[in-house]
Amino acid sequence: MKADLIIKNANQLVTSKGASTRPKINEELGQIEIIEDGAVAAAADKIIAVGTTKEVLQQVDLSLGAKVIDATGKVVLPGLVDPHTHL
């Protein structure tokens, strides 16, 4: 897979648990996974790989001119994707 963006070396990458082809809802939103030394790769504004930096770098090739962000010492987490969840 060709990636045009990769965020790598994150101390922690917070993501929803398990792959899904549909948006997560209700209790699924609370099922998170924390990946140490995490990375995420995207192509054409879609996430194509998530895992440890080593795993993601093995799964993707970088497109010419791809943006690479070194997140060493940082935490990567999703923004608000379901602002109507009742807490």
The DSSP letter of residue 81 is: S
User: Is the pLDDT score of 83 beyond 70?
Assistant: no
Instruction: Give SS3 for 86.
Output: coil
Residue 34 confidence (pLDDT)? 94
Question: What is the CB neighbour count within 10 angstroms for residue 17?
Answer: 12
Instruction: Give SS3 for 55.
Output: helix
pTM of this structure: 0.81
The predicted-structure confidence for 25-79, as pLDDT tens digits, reads as follows 788 878 889 999 999 999 999 999 999 999 999 999 998 999 999 999 999 988 7
Domains along the sequence of the chain with CATH: 2-19+30-76 (2.30.40.10)
User: Is the pLDDT score of 85 beyond 70?
Assistant: no
